[in-house]
């Protein structure tokens, strides 16, 4: 049993705007409960820290919560060395460049940007040292050992599952966070098919894994970008 925080009761008003605001507030409380119980939802492992990121832009959306288990030493090293990414598109280009031995010969491929834009980003990454031997070595490191993406829903579990489907390849595992009374409505066949987990929250804010998610390999570009987001988190908590 995991301990979180008491949940705000559902809005009973008739006005649709008030109802939407009430739902948003309850979902926020769910997310806060999961953030407080983060170490029980995802064990970072020895020598690693757990980072909780709320509504960050991961390139495919803004999930309610992402938990990252990471080597703090490696994140601080990345910060001090200055190997940084400006956006998710840069991460996608860098992922393509790091997969081939000759960066000059790489073209746009299938990442959905123009060849001119691809060349522009490639030049910028090269100027910042990413394509040097040291930069390539840094890019191929894996500071994040585990990642869990959570979507919180008080009623709309269907919408939550669609969001998990859209974002599932960016992380190692995904889970729906819902009040306990919503659990019986969620078809187990969908959860099994996609490997999604389910975390339940009772009226007192206590959390419990009802179904643990299946672990998968995250996309390389997504991992590069999540690492950058983790470094930014470190910067906020440990400013220069």
CATH code of 16-41+52-69+146-211, in short, is 3.40.1350
**198 in Cβ contact with 210 (< 8 Å):** yes
Cα(87)–Cα(183) distance, integer angstroms: 36
- Bridge partners, 100 (sequence order): none
Q: Where are the domains of the chain?
A: 16-41+52-69+146-211, 72-142+219-237
Cα(52)–Cα(103) distance, integer angstroms: 34
Cα(5)–Cα(15) distance, integer angstroms: 27
pTM of the model: 0.86
One digit per residue, the tens of pLDDT, for the chain of length 240 reads 444 433 333 333 445 555 667 888 999 999 999 999 999 899 998 889 999 999 999 998 999 999 999 988 889 889 999 999 999 999 999 999 998 655 455 555 567 889 899 999 999 999 999 999 999 999 998 899 999 999 999 999 999 999 999 999 999 999 999 999 999 999 999 999 999 999 999 988 889 999 999 999 999 999 999 999 999 998 887 655
């Amino acid at each position: 049993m995991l301990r979180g925080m008491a949940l705000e009761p559902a809005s009973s008003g008739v006005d649709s705007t008030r109802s939407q605001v009430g739902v948003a507030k309850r979902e926020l409380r769910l997310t806060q409960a999961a953030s407080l119980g983060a170490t029980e939802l995802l064990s970072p492992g020895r020598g690693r820290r757990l980072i909780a990121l709320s509504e960050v832009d991961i390139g495919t959306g803004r999930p309610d919560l992402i938990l990252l288990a990471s080597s703090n030493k490696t994140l601080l090293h990345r910060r001090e060395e200055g190997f940084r990414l400006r956006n998710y598109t840069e991460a996608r280009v860098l992922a393509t460049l790091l997969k081939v031995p000759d960066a000059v010969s790489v073209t746009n491929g299938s990442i959905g940007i123009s060849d001119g834009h691809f060349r522009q980003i490639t030049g910028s990454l090269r100027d910042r040292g990413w394509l040097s031997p040291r930069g390539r070595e840094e890019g191929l490191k894996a500071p994040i050992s585990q990642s869990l993406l959570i979507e919180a829903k008080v009623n709309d579990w269907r919408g939550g599952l669609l969001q998990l489907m859209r974002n599932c390849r960016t992380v190692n595992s995904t889970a729906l966070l819902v009040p306990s009374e919503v659990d019986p409505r969620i078809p187990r066949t969908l959860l099994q098919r996609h490997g999604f987990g389910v975390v339940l929250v009772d009226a007192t804010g206590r959390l419990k894994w009802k179904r643990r998610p299946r672990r998968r390999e995250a996309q390389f570009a997504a991992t590069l970008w999540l690492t950058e987001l983790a470094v930014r988190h470190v910067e906020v908590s440990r400013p220069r």
